[in-house]
Amino acid sequence: MQKFTTLTSIPAPLPLVNIDTDMIIPKQFLKTIKRTGLGEGLFYEMRYDVNGKKNDGFVLHNAPYDTAQILLAGENFGCGSSREHAPWALLDFGIRCVIAPSFADIFFNNCFKNGILPIVLPKETVEKLIAEAQSAPAPLSVDLTAQAVESRALGRISFDVEAFRKHCLLNGLDDIGMTLEHGQAIAGFEATQQKSQPWLYS
């Protein structure tokens, strides 16, 4: 998993509440178990019409938002089904951070397991960031170590993040990575077990 330390990007404003996982990545894109290629389906039903024609008015189709790595959204982001394809699609598109007043629990947890930082800020603060991004787009800087977002208009904004999740993101550790941190202990156990129970290894 890619480490997350600092990030500076123009944020893409998506001022909608209750953006569910089917909006993030529609069901027709769930046939794959690969984490790559899903960026093409991100917000597909908002980005394209029923004939597959691009919706030129959608924020991620327009500069400077088309290269955004930060997404600004409304309350209850990531609600709906628990599909892990949702953070996969965001990450494949290039989104590394989502800022919203609240998140659905399962989506929130899945973000940390896939290298995305979900930041919870007060609704009024998020609305001001969205307004700034819409009227006078300027880069936002996110510093996970300092737990702060830096905005040209609002200045320094602190955010909370649980210590263990912060550690995992800073060090690029998903569930497999955390297991591999104990590689020597695992190898020692296996060596001892192979001597005492060799039939398990034959």
Give how far Cα 81 sits from Cα of 17, 23, 85, 123, Å.
16, 11, 10, 24
Burial of 173 from C-beta contacts in 10 A (0-12 / 13-18 / 19+): buried
- How far from the centroid of its chain's Cα atoms is residue 65's Cα? 17
Q: Is the dihedral of CA 11, 90, 80, 28 positive or negative?
A: positive
pTM for this entry? 0.89
pLDDT tens-digit series, residues 25-54: 999 888 877 778 899 999 999 999 888 899
The pLDDT of residue 182: 64
Residue 182 or residue 131, greater confidence:
131
Alpha-carbon gap, residue 9 to 52, rounded angstroms: 29
Which of 135-144, 161-170, 184-193 has the least mean pLDDT?
184-193
> Is-contact 100 125, C-beta < 8 A?
no
Query: Mean of the pLDDT values across residues 71-96?
Result: 96
CA distance 40 to 28: 12
187: pLDDT strictly greater than 80: no
The pLDDT score that the predictor gives to residue 192 is: 75
* Residues 118, 103 contacting (CB under 8 angstroms): yes
Instruction: With CA atoms as reference, report the closest residue to 121 among 192, 164, 72.
Output: 72
Give the three-state DSSP class for 3: coil
* Better-predicted residue by pLDDT, 135 or 181: 135
Averaged confidence pLDDT in the chain: 92
Least confident interval from 24-38, 68-82, 175-189: 175-189
Q: Which residues contact 119 (CB under 8 A, 6 or more apart)?
A: 97, 98, 99, 100, 142, 149, 159, 161
**For residue 188, what pLDDT is reported?**
66
Q: How far is CA 171 from CA 88, 159, 176, in A?
A: 19, 19, 13
pLDDT band at 189 (very low <50, low <70, confident <90, very high): confident
Task: Report pLDDT for 198.
Answer: 79
Nearest one of 43, 141, 28, 145 to 92, comparing CA atoms: 43
Least confident of 63-72, 82-91, 152-161, 188-197: 188-197
pLDDT above 80 (res 174): no
- Residue range 63-78: mean pLDDT, rounded: 97
Query: What are the structural domains, with CATH classification, of the chain?
Result: 6-179 (3.20.19.10)
Those residues whose C-beta lies under 8 Å from the C-beta of residue 172, and which sit 6 or more positions away, are 1, 2, 3, 4, 115
